[in-house]
């Protein structure tokens, strides 16, 4: 029998071959197999899974439930090769997942973040983070999608940006606003002068010439939040880099409502832009801001012309 770590690797390889990214699940399973190894276990048991899933003790019920769900999926697969494997019962750790209320950035907040990014040191980090942060707010693309951009993904003549590494594994093209396209083209020209012999195909490169790392970007963004005072003013809400995506979606929807557009008709366009596999996922943004609910309610209360 192969080690539990090797079986987990095969499981992840199989799921990924079927089209699942398994990024978060992969990290959690790696942690679980390390936990099992330290306990001298070579298979999955309900007791072992429960002991790992409920760490740390201060974690939320939904986080514990998610950890157990990851092990439970692996245990189902493992049973085919190892009859000793136990599948933890469903509902053993009831934890209803709740969406985090997103922090929506104001126009002034976005400007402050981009300005602060331009003051970073060393200078190339400032250039890169300024362009990167601007892209997130201008397009609403996911962090991973922006990090995965390559040099050929921006067509500077047409202003089209191709997102290839998508959550749904279906590439999409975004026609950028002229100002966003110009900003990215300017960054690309400076990058090509700075790195005449690139060591990576990445569009955004770090001060070492390598592709930007997720952890580096997240840590830097948290620093910007504190330097601009946004973090302290947010109160109970938690400003995150993913909030740029929420802000883009909510701003777009609010603009449509104010312009009197048919939001239901346009919603699939926003779904396609954001890379949602189903417009139903986009409906979440309708409840992300009280302003949107007010605008929607006002639309419903206002009778259409020509109707009785």
Instruction: Catalogue the active-site residues.
Output: 142, 167, 242, 245, 276, 285
CB-CB contact of 25 with 12 (8 Å): yes
CA distances from 229 to 99, 108, 224, 235 (A): 25, 12, 8, 11
What's the farthest any 2 CA atoms get from each other in the chain?
A: 75
CB-CB contact of 138 with 154 (8 Å): no
CB-CB contact of 95 with 61 (8 Å): yes
Under 8 Å CB-to-CB from 6, ≥6 apart: which residues?
none
Tokens of 114: 């981009």
Element containing residue 26 per DSSP (H, E) = helix 23-38
CA distances from 288 to 22, 151, 167, 240, 282 (A): 27, 34, 21, 15, 11
Is the dihedral angle over the CA atoms 87, 92, 94, 100 positive or is it negative? Answer: negative
């Amino acid at each position: 029998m192969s080690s539990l770590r090797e079986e987990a690797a095969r499981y992840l390889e199989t799921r990924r071959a079927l089209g699942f990214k398994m990024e978060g699940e992969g990290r959690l399973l790696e942690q679980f197999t390390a936990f099992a190894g330290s306990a001298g276990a070579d298979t999955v048991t309900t007791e072992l899974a429960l002991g790992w899933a409920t760490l740390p003790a201060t974690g939320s019920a939904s986080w514990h439930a998610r950890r157990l769900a990851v092990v439970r999926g692996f245990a189902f697969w493992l049973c085919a090769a190892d009859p000793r494997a136990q599948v933890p019962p469903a509902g053993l750790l009831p934890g209803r997942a709740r969406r985090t209320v997103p922090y929506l950035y104001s126009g002034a907040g976005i400007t402050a973040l981009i300005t602060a990014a331009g003051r970073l040191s060393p200078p190339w980090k400032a250039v890169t983070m300024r362009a990167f942060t601007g892209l997130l707010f201008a397009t609403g693309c996911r962090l991973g999608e922006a990090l995965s951009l390559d040099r050929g993904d921006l067509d500077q003549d047409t202003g089209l940006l191709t997102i290839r590494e998508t959550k749904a594994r279906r590439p999409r093209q975004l026609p950028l606003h002229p100002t966003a396209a110009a900003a990215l083209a300017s960054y690309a020209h400076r990058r090509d002068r700075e790195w005449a012999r690139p060591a990576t195909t990445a569009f955004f490169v770090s001060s070492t010439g390598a592709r930007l790392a997720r952890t580096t970007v997240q840590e830097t963004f948290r620093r910007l939040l504190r330097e601009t005072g946004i973090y302290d003013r947010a109160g109970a809400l938690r400003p995150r880099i993913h909030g740029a995506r929420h802000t883009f979606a909510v701003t777009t929807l609010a603009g449509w409502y104010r312009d009197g557009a048919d939001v239901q008709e346009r919603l699939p366009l926003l779904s396609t832009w954001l890379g949602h596999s189903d417009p139903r996922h986009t409906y979440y943004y309708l409840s992300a801001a009280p302003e949107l609910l007010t605008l929607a309610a006002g639309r419903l209360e206002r009778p259409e012309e020509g109707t009785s």
